[in-house]
């Protein structure tokens, strides 16, 4: 919780209960949560919190770069804390999002063909290794 408070302080954002709870939730679940999931978790602790509040809080924290929205399916955004830049792997079967480390020369240099890079987003789509494990003798 201290770390989360420091993070908000560093961006000069008031550590409200809502913000703290949402960030705590993202940090404990290691990110990749949809607004719905976060809302479900937080509602248990703060029944008065609306889904709109969760959504608005996430949007404003994304603007200042505390959280990062990940949009892969186009249907929904998932959020994670802004940490080291990485790619994602999206499983088309179980809809799981997995962190993938990236080594990107362009990103390290901070520019590409003379264009300045601020953020890096990339993802792979496929079937995760859990889903690849043959079940009940079914061959893939
Ligand atoms: Zn999977
Ligand atoms: Zn991630």
Q: Which residues of 32-60 are buried (b: 16+ CB within 10 A; e: fewer)?
A: bbbbebbbebbeeeeeebeeeebeebbee
Q: 5 and 26 share a domain?
A: yes
Host domain of residue 111: 84-140
Q: 107 and 137 share a domain?
A: yes
Q: 71 and 104 share a domain?
A: no
Phi, psi of 95 (to 5 degrees): 65, 20
Q: 76 and 93 share a domain?
A: no
- What is the CA(134)–ligand 1 centre distance, in A? 12
93-133 residue pLDDT tens: 999 999 998 887 877 788 889 999 888 888 999 999 999 98
Nearest to 62 by CA among 115, 114, 119: 119
Q: Which ligand is nearest to the CA of 132?
A: 1
Which among 63, 82, 101 is the end of a domain? 82
Q: In which element (H, E) is residue 87 found? A: strand 87-91
40-57 residue pLDDT tens: 999 999 999 999 999 999
**Six token digits for residue 133:** 């494990």
- What is the CA(105)–ligand 1 centre distance, in A? 29
Checking if the pLDDT of 140 tops 70, the result is: no
Q: 92 and 140 share a domain?
A: yes
Checking if the pLDDT of 135 tops 70, the result is: no
């Amino acid at each position: 919780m201290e770390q989360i408070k420091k993070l908000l302080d560093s961006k000069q954002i008031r550590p409200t209960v809502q913000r703290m709870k949402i960030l705590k939730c993202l940090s404990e679940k290691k990110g990749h949560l949809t607004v719905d999931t976060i809302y479900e978790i937080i509602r248990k602790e703060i029944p008065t919190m609306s889904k709109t509040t969760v959504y608005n809080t996430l949007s404003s924290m994304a603007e200042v770069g505390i959280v990062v929205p990940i949009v892969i399916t186009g249907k929904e955004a998932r959020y994670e804390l802004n940490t080291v830049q990485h790619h994602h792997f999206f499983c088309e079967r179980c809809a799981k999002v997995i962190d993938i480390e990236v080594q990107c020369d362009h990103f390290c240099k901070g520019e590409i063909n003379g264009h300045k890079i601020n953020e890096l987003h990339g993802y792979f789509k496929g079937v995760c290794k859990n889903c690849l494990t043959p079940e009940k003798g079914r061959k893939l």
